[in-house]
Structure 1
Amino acid sequence: MIYVTIGSVLLACFFLARILFLKKEIRSAAKQLKERHQAKTDTKIRLAYLDKDMEKLANEINLQIDESRHATAQKRRTENELKQAISSISHDIRTPMTSILGYIQFLEDDHIPPEVRKEYTLIVKNGASRLKVLLEDFFELSIMESADYPLKIESISLNDLIPEVLVGFYEAFNQKQMEPVVNIPEDNIRVKADASAVKRVMENLVLNALKHSTGNVTIALKSTPSLVELSISNPAPQLKEEDLFHLFDRFYKADQARKEKGTGLGLAIAKGLMEKMNGSLSAELDEGQLVMRCRWGNWGER
């Protein structure tokens, strides 16, 4: 009987000690959470008393802490991107707008010669056209990120689409005294994509190549059993490897002084459109050549 009584007392003491230790850990965890909330510390929850259930609770709390850190970092990145976007948009719109307003003031003078008036009118028209391109890029980028961005995915022939796009750049190639090198196989290569979106991707890539190329632009199309690849390459000796990591960033320009014309959105839009069509767009430097590669899984009809 005495042994039973002693055993009961010991068991009661054990459970009492366990409860006291658990209460101590709970108070410690509560204190650590309070310090985190008051921004006194940024550490995770630490336990001194090893208990399986308390460890599970601490792990779940620490997972929430990790998610909170990630969300805070993402919020800061988004805020910084938004500030950069507003700054870039303001800069890109202000420049042509200032020019337009200035030359309109000149045009209000009734005494300027007709030839000068014609020149000023052309400058205003060019400025308005540039504003139109800027606003279209900003608008397309904004709606492209929405889940319901309209795409008509169907089987399209790249053999037909590529020449159709290049015809639109005939005058631009002539002005730069360049002739595109086009390598398209005789086999009809098809992909599942949106025709207008693929055209926009190609237009942005060709325009980028025309702006920065120091030589001929090469457009090549090839197909393997698992992949369809459309590549656009051009000499780019001014480009550095570190530029490749930012080429598809919004508003990025290799010319950091922003002397280039354009929004810096063309490649970002092209990459976004390719991803919308379950494809990919990448860039690489190969012996001084910038190579842009559009890739689709080879699921199109042969």
Structure 2
Amino acid sequence: MLYITIVAVAVIALLVARLLRMRRELRRITAQLKSYNEGRSGKKTDLSYYEKDLESLAAEINRLIDRVTESGALQRRTENELKQAIANMSHDIRTPLTSIFGYIQLLEAEDLSPEEKHAYLSVIKHRSQRLQALLNDFFELSVIESTDYELKPARIRFVPVLQDVIMSLYDQFTDCSITPLLEFPEEEIIGFADESAVKRVIENLLLNTIKHTRGEVGIGLKRQNNEAVLVIRNDAPHLAGTDPSLLFDRFYTADQTRSGKGTGLGLSIARSLMEKMGGRLSAELSGDVLTMTCRWELTTGGISQGTSVT
């Protein structure tokens, strides 16, 4: 009986000692978290007393700290991007507005000839169209990136969709002395996507190409594994030394003076639409040749390759 009592007292003593150590360690963890939360330390939680449950607690706390750190870094990047976007947009709005006001003042002169009035009105019209395009693109991008924006996926044939977009831009290709080199597969490529969004992506990529290149432009569509892959390839000597991933940033333009006609939002809109559709849009620069690649999964929504569309 005495032996059992001694053993029981020893076990209780060990448990009490363990509880006291855990209590001290919890106080220590609490102090570390308080120091972190108050900004006095960026150090993660560490342990001086190792016990399975405490180790699990410390691991989860450190995972939370990592997520908070990543979230903070993302927020700072987003804020910097927003500041840059606002600065760029302010510049792009101010430029045509200043020009419009200037030419309106010129129109107020009484000794203008009909030819001069016509020329000034033409400039005002073009600057107004530039301003309208900028505001429309900015509004479209904000709508696309909102959580309420919904796509309407359906069965589509990718080859006819691409052909329709190319035909709609035929006059612009001709006016800019661009020769499209087309590569279409003989078999149908059928998938499940929002047709208007797919057309918008293709149109934005081709319009960007029309603005910045001349000569031959390769436009190819193919099936690769379980994806429809669109590749647009053109000469882009003006991008030499540029990180091609920057092309998808809001308001980015290779023309740092921002004197061109583009708003700098077309490629960003295309990327946002691709992300909404679960696809991918990438850019590669090899020498003077720029390659844009779009990838759409063909089995999304249960529609597989080769499925007939009625």
TM-score by length of 1: 0.89
Q: Which residue of 1 aligns with 2:80?
A: 80
Question: In the TM superposition, what is the alpha-carbon distance from 1:106 to its structure 2 partner?
Answer: 1.2
Q: Distance between the aligned counterparts of 1:81 and 1:55, measured in 2? A: 39
Q: Which residue of 2 aligns with 1:293?
A: 293
Alpha-carbon distance change, 8 to 160 in structure 1, aligned in 2, over 3 angstroms: closer
The answer to whether the Cα contact below 8 Å between 1:144 and 1:273 also exists between their aligned partners in 2 is yes
Q: Distance between the aligned counterparts of 2:205 and 2:172, measured in 1? A: 14
Q: Which residue of 1 aligns with 2:141?
A: 141
Runs of 4 or more, structure 1, over 6 Å off, are none
Equivalent residue letter for 1:294: C
Equivalent residue letter for 2:219: I
Q: Which residue of 2 aligns with 1:162?
A: 162
Q: Which residue of 1 aligns with 2:301?
A: none
Q: 5+ residue gaps in structure 2?
A: 299-303
Q: Which residue of 2 aligns with 1:20?
A: 20
Alpha-carbon distance change, 14 to 191 in structure 1, aligned in 2, over 3 angstroms: closer
Question: In the TM superposition, what is the alpha-carbon distance from 1:62 to its structure 2 partner?
Answer: 1.9
Question: In the TM superposition, what is the alpha-carbon distance from 1:170 to its structure 2 partner?
Answer: 3.4
Question: In the TM superposition, what is the alpha-carbon distance from 1:241 to its structure 2 partner?
Answer: 6.6
The answer to whether the Cα contact below 8 Å between 2:32 and 2:45 also exists between their aligned partners in 1 is yes
Measured against aligned partners, the alpha-carbon deviations of 1:114-148 in whole angstroms (never above 9, x if no partner) come to: 11111111111111111111111111111101233
Percent identity at matched positions? 48
Alpha-carbon distance change, 162 to 16 in structure 1, aligned in 2, over 3 angstroms: closer
Alpha-carbon distance change, 5 to 236 in structure 1, aligned in 2, over 3 angstroms: same
Measured against aligned partners, the alpha-carbon deviations of 1:245-278 in whole angstroms (never above 9, x if no partner) come to: 3222222223334343322211111122123233
Q: Which residue of 1 aligns with 2:267?
A: 267
Q: Which residue of 2 aligns with 1:282?
A: 282
What are the equivalent positions in structure 2 for 1:1-302 lying under 5 Å apart? 3=3, 6-224=6-224, 226-240=226-240, 243-286=243-286, 288-298=288-298, 299=304, 301-302=307-308
Q: Distance between the aligned counterparts of 2:224 and 2:47, measured in 1? A: 56
SS at match of 1:264: coil
Measured against aligned partners, the alpha-carbon deviations of 1:171-224 in whole angstroms (never above 9, x if no partner) come to: 433332222222334544443332322222122111111222243222222235
Once superposed, what is the RMSD of the aligned Cα atoms? 2.4
The answer to whether the Cα contact below 8 Å between 2:245 and 2:282 also exists between their aligned partners in 1 is no
SS at match of 1:238: helix
Q: Distance between the aligned counterparts of 1:274 and 1:178, measured in 2? A: 26
Q: Could you tell which deviates more after superposition, 232-241 or 75-84?
A: 232-241
Q: Distance between the aligned counterparts of 1:258 and 1:123, measured in 2? A: 18
Alpha-carbon distance change, 277 to 16 in structure 1, aligned in 2, over 3 angstroms: closer
SS at match of 2:293: strand
Measured against aligned partners, the alpha-carbon deviations of 1:53-100 in whole angstroms (never above 9, x if no partner) come to: 222222222222222212222221222222122112111111111111
Q: Could you tell which deviates more after superposition, 250-259 or 46-55?
A: 250-259
Alpha-carbon distance change, 227 to 65 in structure 1, aligned in 2, over 3 angstroms: closer
Q: Distance between the aligned counterparts of 2:295 and 2:37, measured in 1? A: 47
Q: Distance between the aligned counterparts of 2:158 and 2:9, measured in 1? A: 85
TM-score by length of 2: 0.87
Alpha-carbon distance change, 186 to 60 in structure 1, aligned in 2, over 3 angstroms: closer
Q: 5+ residue gaps in structure 1?
A: none
- For these two proteins, the number of residue pairs brought into alignment is 302
SS at match of 1:179: strand
The answer to whether the Cα contact below 8 Å between 1:209 and 1:234 also exists between their aligned partners in 2 is yes
